[in-house]
């Protein structure tokens, strides 16, 4: 048992009774095998917002899994490559240990200090960064890594056209990265939920991307060649997007169900297919080769379905390198950079409203900047 004098405290954004508040958490020195990290700028992602809205039952009081962290203290037995001061990114998904899902069932990064459990350290989920983008862009490393994973899966089908459903962070990252990882000749269509989303994208154009409004049900002719669809939708919108995607074009079709799905989710066009199980067949870069499920719709069309949970470490390092290589391509996606008190207000508003306008600007990525925290003498011993 640790003595009372070992206990420090730090600021954290804490979930409580359906709301969040700015509170204090104990800052304990790391036990053997553990790390304590500080994240100067942490991001809020779509799954975080779903937790705030009660659409997911993840128990962690402190959410958040996006951002570049710096090792503050290392317990005994931690590799020397993770010495204090090292810039790292934490892979939030453990492929084989369900007790570790950062910001979901263990405390996440929306606080000044985060303890990373020994299971995540031992199994290599704390990844040192050789290529370190600017801190605010660090909030995009994990979501861009997930996009890298998805585009790698879709690339196996050799698509000539990519249709992206959803204009949030993942959709916007996808259209920016498509030429990088699917080739410069890829035709990209971005399907939006609302006219406000189309307006934002119009003012933040991406070369080669056509903008569409999903509600009108119209898509331009897709031409010949294989088509890929990426469903960058909220958990409660994935099935509807899939219904639309299954009717895209007339040639080869591969669909990545990027957005989450409730257990047992099904489609009337795909009777007997457990969509959540299909999506979860790929996890954190495994298996190799990746899993695809070939299905036939009730209309007689053959389709390949895929998806994934989590990312591999290589996806994270590739994403960090991409953000360092071309920061201007992605910088406009971090639309709001605020301190923790303002973040609490925004997060509580998001928990009760679907509105995406904050301080007169459409919210794509919220980045929360915490004050720099210097290690205590006890932590640096």
- 312 part of a folded domain: no
Q: Say which residues have a Cβ less than 8 Å from residue 373's Cβ, sequence separation at least 6.
A: 10, 38, 72, 112, 113
Q: Where are the beta strands (DSSP E) in 157-236?
A: 161-165, 187-192, 209-213, 227-231
- One DSSP character per residue, 148-210 reads HHHHHHHHTT--SEEEEE--SHHHHHHHHHHHHHH-TT-EEEEEESSHHHHHHHHHS--TTEE
Within this chain, do residues 19 and 102 fall inside the same structural domain, yes or no? yes
Q: Residue 273: give its domain's CATH number.
A: 3.40.50.720
pLDDT of residue 215: 65
Range of the domain at 180: 142-306
Q: pLDDT below 70 — which residues of the chain?
A: 1-7, 215-217, 373-381
pLDDT of residue 29: 94
Within this chain, do residues 240 and 109 fall inside the same structural domain, yes or no? no
Tally of structural domains, the chain? 2
Within 10 angstroms of residue 358's Cβ, the number of other Cβ atoms is: 17
pLDDT of residue 246: 94
Q: Are 35 and 364 in contact (CB under 8 A)?
A: no
- 316 part of a folded domain: no
pLDDT of residue 18: 86
Within this chain, do residues 156 and 269 fall inside the same structural domain, yes or no? yes
Within this chain, do residues 268 and 206 fall inside the same structural domain, yes or no? yes
pLDDT of residue 57: 86
- 35 part of a folded domain: yes
Name the pairing type of β-strands 302-306 and 253-256: parallel
Within this chain, do residues 149 and 191 fall inside the same structural domain, yes or no? yes
CA dist., res. 46 & res. 259, Å (int): 9
Within this chain, do residues 228 and 161 fall inside the same structural domain, yes or no? yes
Q: Say which residues have a Cβ less than 8 Å from residue 111's Cβ, sequence separation at least 6.
A: 10, 11, 12, 13, 25, 62, 64, 370
Q: Residue 85: give its domain's CATH number.
A: 3.90.180.10
């Amino acid at each position: 048992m640790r003595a009372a004098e070992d206990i420090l405290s730090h600021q954290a954004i804490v979930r409580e009774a359906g709301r969040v508040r700015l509170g204090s958490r104990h800052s304990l020195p790391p036990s053997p095998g553990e790390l304590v990290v500080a994240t100067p700028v942490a991001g809020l992602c779509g799954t975080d917002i779903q937790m705030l809205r009660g659409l997911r039952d993840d128990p962690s009081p402190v959410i958040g899994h996006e951002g570049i962290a710096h090792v503050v203290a290392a317990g005994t037995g931690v590799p020397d490559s993770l010495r204090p001061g090292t810039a790292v990114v934490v892979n939030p998904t453990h492929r084989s240990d369900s007790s570790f899902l950062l910001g979901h069932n263990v405390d996440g990064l929306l606080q000044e200090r985060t303890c990373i459990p020994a299971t995540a350290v031992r199994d290599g989920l704390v990844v040192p960064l050789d290529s370190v983008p600017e801190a605010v862009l660090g909030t995009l490393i994990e979501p861009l890594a997930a996009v890298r994973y998805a585009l790698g899966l879709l690339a196996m089908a050799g698509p000539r056209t990519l249709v992206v459903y959803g204009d949030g962070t993942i959709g916007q990252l996808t259209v920016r990265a498509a030429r990088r990882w699917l080739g410069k000749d890829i035709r990209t269509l971005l399907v939006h939920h609302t006219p406000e989303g189309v307006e934002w994208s119009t003012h933040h154009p991406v070369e080669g991307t056509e903008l569409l409004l999903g509600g009108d049900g119209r898509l331009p002719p897709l031409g010949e060649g294989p088509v890929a669809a990426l469903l960058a939708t909220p958990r409660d919108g994935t099935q509807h997007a899939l219904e639309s995607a299954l009717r895209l074009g007339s040639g080869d079709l591969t669909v990545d169900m990027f957005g989450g799905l409730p257990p047992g989710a099904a489609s009337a066009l795909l009777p007997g297919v457990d969509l959540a199980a299909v999506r979860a067949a790929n996890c954190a870069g495994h298996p190799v080769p990746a899993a695809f499920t070939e299905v036939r719709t009730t209309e007689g069309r053959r389709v390949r379905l895929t998806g994934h949970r989590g990312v591999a470490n290589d996806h994270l390092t590739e994403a960090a390198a991409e953000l360092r290589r071309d920061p201007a391509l992605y910088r406009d996606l971090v639309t709001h950079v605020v301190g923790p008190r303002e973040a609490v207000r925004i997060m509580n508003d998001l928990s009760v409203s679907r509105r995406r306008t904050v301080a007169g600007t459409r919210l794509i990525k919220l980045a929360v900047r915490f004050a720099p925290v210097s290690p205590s003498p006890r932590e640096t011993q």
